[in-house]
């Protein structure tokens, strides 16, 4: 099972920030058990949505600035806060801001809002693995490329700044 927890990138400012969307729908299999009669998005999946958005910002920023293909490996969460439940029918608006971007590591501050109200936030850290065609990482790169095609849609002026 793949968890693509970003449906669309609304804004992408290379080296700065990303705004992404996740439409939370009842079709997701985890709602069957989390929780019957009161479905809420598991907190760990909300955090994963923040991490996917952050990772996408990091990988695109490194590519655009240095023409290096990196795999951002999620290594840590600090100052995590879950403020409100995220339920089917909600649209989670994710914003991640790049704090540190060095050769082999990156950090972001990320948050998710529903109807303008803070739902979750955290500081996230990543190790950057440079991809040089190693076969053991080919599936990860392929999944990242699939994600890019799904979430970017057509480029427009909002995303090229």
Closest CA to 114 of 35, 22, 34, 51: 22
Could you tell me which CATH number the domain at 8-149 has? 3.10.129.10
Beta bridge partners of 114: 92, 117
Whole-number pLDDT of residue 154: 57
Q: Is the pLDDT of residue 97 over 90?
A: yes
Closest CA to 62 of 26, 99, 15, 24: 15
Q: Is the pLDDT of residue 16 over 60?
A: yes
117 SS3 class: strand
Q: Is the pLDDT of residue 158 over 70?
A: no
Closest CA to 6 of 161, 149, 160: 149
Could you tell me which residue, 1 or 112, shows the higher pLDDT? 112
Indicate if the alpha-carbon torsion angle 25, 29, 30, 33 is positive or negative: positive
What is the band of 24 on the pLDDT scale with cuts at 50, 70, 90?
very high
What is the band of 4 on the pLDDT scale with cuts at 50, 70, 90?
confident
- Give me the catalytic one of 10, 13, 34, 84: 34
Whole-number pLDDT of residue 113: 98
Could you tell me which residue, 127 or 160, shows the higher pLDDT? 127
Q: Is 13 a catalytic residue?
A: no
- Mean pLDDT of all residues in 102-117: 98
């Amino acid at each position: 099972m793949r968890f693509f927890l970003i449906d669309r990138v609304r804004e992408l400012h290379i080296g700065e920030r990303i705004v992404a969307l996740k439409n939370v729908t009842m079709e997701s299999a985890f709602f069957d058990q989390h929780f019957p009669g009161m479905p809420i998005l598991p907190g760990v999946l909300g955090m994963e949505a923040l991490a996917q958005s952050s990772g996408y910002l990091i990988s695109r920023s490194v590519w655009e600035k240095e023409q290096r293909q990196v795999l951002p490996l999620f290594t840590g969460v600090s100052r995590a806060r879950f403020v409100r439940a995220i339920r089917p029918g909600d649209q989670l608006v994710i914003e991640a801001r790049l704090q540190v971007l060095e050769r082999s590591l990156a950090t972001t501050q990320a948050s998710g809002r529903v109807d303008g109200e803070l739902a979750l936030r955290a500081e996230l850290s990543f190790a950057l693995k440079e991809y040089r065609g190693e076969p053991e990482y080919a599936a990860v790169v392929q999944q990242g490329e699939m994600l890019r095609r799904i979430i970017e849609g057509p480029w427009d002026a909002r995303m090229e700044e």
